[in-house]
Amino acid sequence: MNVYGANDEVSVIGEATVRAGLEALDDLMEKLSMMKGKYSELLRKRGILLIYISLAMLELISMAKERGIWVLKATEDVVPLTFTQLS
């Protein structure tokens, strides 16, 4: 996991990579599952799942939209920010 942060209400969990396809999304979901199992005290009820990239492959964009995962790069949001229920 490359990105983690939390305040009293929201957790942010994410991956950062240069080029991302579905494997980046799968990695993110595996790490979220691990956090829920081992470090649930670090998660809040609401969360932001994100993938920060330079180049997003089309299949990643499509699946991220379906799952509500924020995909962004330095210049723009590729998939808009949404909040996710983590617990």
Distance CA 31, CA 71 (A): 17
| pLDDT per position as a tens digit, 10-48 | 999 999 999 888 999 999 999 999 999 999 999 999 999
Q: What is the pLDDT of residue 78?
A: 95
Distance CA 70, CA 18 (A): 16
pLDDT band of 72, cuts 50, 70, 90 = very high
Q: What is the pLDDT of residue 87?
A: 75
Task: Indicate if the alpha-carbon torsion angle 31, 35, 38, 42 is positive or negative.
Answer: positive
Distance CA 73, CA 2 (A): 15
Residue ranges of domains in the chain: 3-85
Q: What is the pTM of this model?
A: 0.90
